[in-house]
Amino acid sequence: MNLEALPKFYSPKSPKLNDETPATGGVALTITDVMAAQGLVQSQASLGFNLFLAKMGIQDPQSAIDGLVNYVLALNNPVLKKLGDTARAEMALCLAQFAYSDYARSAASKCQCQHCEGKGVIRLVKPVVKHPGVKGVEATIRNESVEELCAQCKGKGEVSTACRDCHGRGFALDRKRSELHGVPVNKVCGRCNGKGYSRLPTTLARRQISALVADLTDYQWYNGYADVINKLVTKCWQEETFAEKKLREVTR
Ligand SMILES: [Zn+2]
Ligand SMILES: [Zn+2]
């Protein structure tokens, strides 16, 4: 049994409680088997299991984020080490939440538009021409706060997390080879590396961190915060893979 098969055990609509994934050879598992297997995976690969359950919306992400915070603190990053205890804990939480959002995007198809913060409109100050309506009197220009439709999400307030190049398929047409062979040839999408979804831009995290750290330097960003985020996201995927391996072992 693999992790992907788990969510259906949580769905009350599941007609049969068996794992129909072909890779397992169709071995029927009872709900008791699944519960026992879950207990084992939870104890042996808790971070990966918590991450996966949270990503699928089965469990609150708090325990997964707590696990990531502990990981950040154990990294002993030189930039974070310079902070006081309270600031370091606050940063660790901020970085863990960001990395979790990046990881969880793989399961979501839509997310809040970062450009307008989900409002669909953007408020900005613009010069507005005022016509007095009186002949001979010149129009005046005044700066006014106006609302404009968000161009990023076209007013919807949410954007697709699917990769813009391959639209979530993970592969794209290889034009060169297709022409060469005269048949459509696909290649792994270069933008998302075949994952099919777009990564959360780290510029967003930089903005958040800049609000907390005065005069954030490039050194602090690249060797500190950005480095920790990358390690965290990698950690999420490694832990999920580990939990998957454990689940296969116990349901073999
Ligand atoms: Zn928007
Ligand atoms: Zn792609």
CATH of the domain at 60: 1.10.274
Q: Is residue 174 part of a domain?
A: no
**147 alpha carbon to ligand 1 midpoint, in Å?**
12
- Overall domain count for the chain: 2
Distances (CA, A) of 251 to 5, 44, 220, 244, 248: 12, 14, 45, 11, 5
Q: Is residue 64 part of a domain?
A: yes
Neighbouring-strand partners of residue 186: 173
pLDDT at 144: 87
Beta-sheet pairing, 140-149 with 171-173: unpaired
pLDDT at 27: 58
Q: Which residues surround ligand 1, an ion (CB under 5 A)?
A: 113, 115-116, 150, 152-153
Q: Is residue 177 part of a domain?
A: no
User: Is 97 in the same domain as 20?
Assistant: yes
Token pair recorded at residue 200: 């959360």
Q: Is residue 170 part of a domain?
A: no
Contact 239, 48 (CB under 8 A): yes
pLDDT at 206: 94
Question: What residues of the chain score a pLDDT lower than 50?
Answer: 14-26
pLDDT at 37: 87
pLDDT at 11: 63
pLDDT at 12: 54
**180 alpha carbon to ligand 2 midpoint, in Å?**
23
Report how far residue 142's alpha carbon sits from residue 147's, in angstroms, rounded to the nearest whole number. Answer: 15
Report how far residue 31's alpha carbon sits from residue 15's, in angstroms, rounded to the nearest whole number. Answer: 12
Range of the domain at 40: 3-109+198-250
E strands in the chain: 110-112, 121-130, 140-149, 158-160, 171-173, 186-188
**139 alpha carbon to ligand 1 midpoint, in Å?**
33
Query: Residue 171 — φ and ψ, nearest 5°?
Result: -135, 160
**169 alpha carbon to ligand 2 midpoint, in Å?**
7
pLDDT at 240: 94
Instruction: Fill in the DSSP letter of residue 198.
Output: P
pTM (predicted TM-score): 0.72
Token pair recorded at residue 157: 């307030």
Ligand nearest to the CA of 172: 2
